[in-house]
Chain A
Amino acid sequence: MIVAEKKPMEEIIEEVKRFENILVLGCNECVTVCEAGGKKEVGVLASALRMFFLKQGRKMRIDERTLERQCDPEYLEEIRDVADGYDAVVSLACGVGVQFTAEHYPNLPVYPGVDTCFMGVTEARGMWTERCQGCGRCILASTGGICPVARCAKRLFNGPCGGSSDGKCEIGKDTVCAWQLIIDRLRALGRMEEYERIAPIKDWSTDRAGGPRKIVREDLAP
């Protein structure tokens, strides 16, 4: 999932204080799971904003709505009939949702209510960690299922580097060395001969460095 964190409320207040009618728009998927932008968080933010502005003597309309996803047009269409009634939207979806909402409603200012952080997992309750950087050419088959692009600080393909010690990465004692994980796993799987293979130079043209990416599936396109 996409992992995001709630923005400080002060920051959101600063962005929306000049408007009168605001829609706080949540997303039912990734940001619900990481408890940053689902229905609950929408309710809390909207309630807090209402109280904040009321205390300032301003009666603003601050409504709540949560869509199934904000990254699919069909769900964004669900607010078509009410969108005109608002001067701004605070989207609690990831950056994808914020932008797509803005694209669909060109006259409506859309503000982000969360900071979008990474693609990752729920490692434990209240803890999320990164796993994938969407490089566009998955190499997990040769690294024991552990990604050195996302998890090695240097993105090494033939690691580890000299900074690996006691299973930890040299960038910090809280960061496991991805290459230690890779080796441990290949050994456990009895596939150490794969470790001995030198990885070829990676084709980075599919990564973000090659510019914004696009996928067109002729079999699906109308």
Chain B
Amino acid sequence: MRLSYPADIRIVRVPCTGKVDLIHILRAFEKGADGVSVVGCMEGDCHYNSGNFRAKKRVAQARQILDTVGIGADRVQMYNLSSSEGPRFARFAEEMAEKIRALGPNPVRAAANQMENQTGGGR
């Protein structure tokens, strides 16, 4: 099955979404990501029972923090699917990419770039 999904997303593999910590999500934004989606198994289907529920809570915490720092909660989103659902993954990826395109680039990266340019130009 060959499916296409947006080329500008980067996949970070984890053994279970329960492995995804709040700091991983924040670091992604700090390093310039425009959006982060956490894609886990269906609720109730976690091999480790509660991994995806933990991820869900962390995504909720990340959303709150992103709102506080001015990046915006909407740039992070949790999706659930089962491992055999390739087409659904592609659809989620497309949906997220569209949402992020509409939101524009990560404002922190934009601000940092602007500062770089200013100091760069001054020297």
Contact of A51 among B22, B23, B30, B115 (CB under 8 A): B30
Answer whether residue B73 sits at the interface, using C-beta atoms and an 8 A cutoff: no
Answer whether residue B4 sits at the interface, using C-beta atoms and an 8 A cutoff: no
Answer whether residue B59 sits at the interface, using C-beta atoms and an 8 A cutoff: no
Summed over the interface, the residue pairs from A and B with CB atoms below 8 Å come to a total of 49
> B23 contacts A54, CB within 8 Å?
no
Answer whether residue B42 sits at the interface, using C-beta atoms and an 8 A cutoff: no
Which parts of B36-93 form the interface with A (CB within 8 Å)? 65, 68-71
> B111 contacts A43, CB within 8 Å?
no
Contacts of A49 in B (CB 8 A): 69
> B71 contacts A51, CB within 8 Å?
yes
A47 to B27, CA, bound (A): 7
> A55 contacts B70, CB within 8 Å?
yes
Contacts of B111 in A (CB 8 A): 54-57
Answer whether residue B9 sits at the interface, using C-beta atoms and an 8 A cutoff: no
> B23 contacts A52, CB within 8 Å?
no
Contacts of B107 in A (CB 8 A): 55
Which parts of A74-123 form the interface with B (CB within 8 Å)? none
Answer whether residue A65 sits at the interface, using C-beta atoms and an 8 A cutoff: no
A43 to B23, CA, bound (A): 7
> A55 contacts B23, CB within 8 Å?
no
A57 to B116, CA, bound (A): 10
Contacts of A10 in B (CB 8 A): 68
> A54 contacts B112, CB within 8 Å?
yes
Contact of B108 among A40, A43, A44, A55 (CB under 8 A): A55
> B114 contacts A51, CB within 8 Å?
no
Answer whether residue A185 sits at the interface, using C-beta atoms and an 8 A cutoff: no
A56 to B108, CA, bound (A): 8
Answer whether residue B16 sits at the interface, using C-beta atoms and an 8 A cutoff: no
> A57 contacts B26, CB within 8 Å?
no
> B69 contacts A51, CB within 8 Å?
yes
Answer whether residue A50 sits at the interface, using C-beta atoms and an 8 A cutoff: yes
A5 smallest CB distance to B (angstroms): 14
A55 to B27, CA, bound (A): 15
Answer whether residue A171 sits at the interface, using C-beta atoms and an 8 A cutoff: no
Contacts of A47 in B (CB 8 A): 23, 26-27, 30
Contact of B68 among A9, A57, A59 (CB under 8 A): A9
> A48 contacts B108, CB within 8 Å?
no
> A51 contacts B26, CB within 8 Å?
yes
Can you list 13 contacts pairing A with B, beta carbon distance less than 8 Å?
A9-B65, A40-B21, A40-B23, A44-B23, A44-B65, A47-B27, A48-B68, A48-B69, A51-B30, A51-B70, A52-B69, A54-B108, A55-B108
| Known interface pairs A47-B27, A55-B71, A55-B107; 6 further A-B residue pairs with C-beta atoms within 8 A, sorted by A's residue number | A44-B26, A48-B26, A51-B29, A54-B111, A54-B115, A59-B112
Chain B positions within 8 Å of A, measured between CB atoms, are: 21-23, 26-27, 29-30, 65, 68-71, 107-108, 111-112, 114-115
Q: Which 7 A-B pairs have the closest CB atoms?
A: A52-B69, A47-B26, A51-B69, A55-B70, A43-B23, A51-B108, A55-B108
